[in-house]
Amino acid sequence: MPKAMPYDFILDYLPRNIVVKQNFGMFYIYLNKKMMLILRRAAGNQNMNGIWVTSSRQHHQSLQEEVPALGDFVLDNGETHDSDWRLLKDGHEDFEEEAIKICELISQGDKRIGKETKGGAML
């Protein structure tokens, strides 16, 4: 039985031409051949659950100013994982509101979000 997509309310706020692919128990959201988001809700490593936003380090500060709930990945051992990704953690008090802000940025073509990938090139 296929796993249900978590946080599926975001589909109401994203462009209709997105592509959703399931892989490794997560849901990958593509738009115009670019990976935009990953949706993850799993029993293990719960610190990693939420909406992953692909970006680059140069945009982290400006994105966080607009979407304050975005943050670093904190591993189970408490260490911060330095990457291009930002995380909107599942359970954050403003989770749904902040998720909608992210979707609105994507819908407006915000260049700070999204990264072309080999998998995205095949869409």
The DSSP 8-state label assigned to residue 44 in this structure reads S
Domain ranges of the chain: 8-121
- Torsion angle, CA of 111/112/115/121, rounded to 10 degrees? -10
Whole-model pTM above 0.75? yes
120: pLDDT strictly greater than 80? no
Instruction: Give the separation between CA 81 and CA 44, rounded to whole angstroms.
Output: 17
Segment 33-89, tens digit of pLDDT:
899 999 999 998 888 999 999 999 999 999 999 999 999 877 767 777 778 899 999
Task: Give the list of residues 6+ apart from residue 114 with CB closer than 8 angstroms, or none.
Answer: 31, 32, 34, 35, 36, 54, 55, 106
Segment 4-25, tens digit of pLDDT:
999 999 999 999 999 999 998 8
Q: Give the pLDDT confidence score for residue 106 in this predicted structure.
A: 98
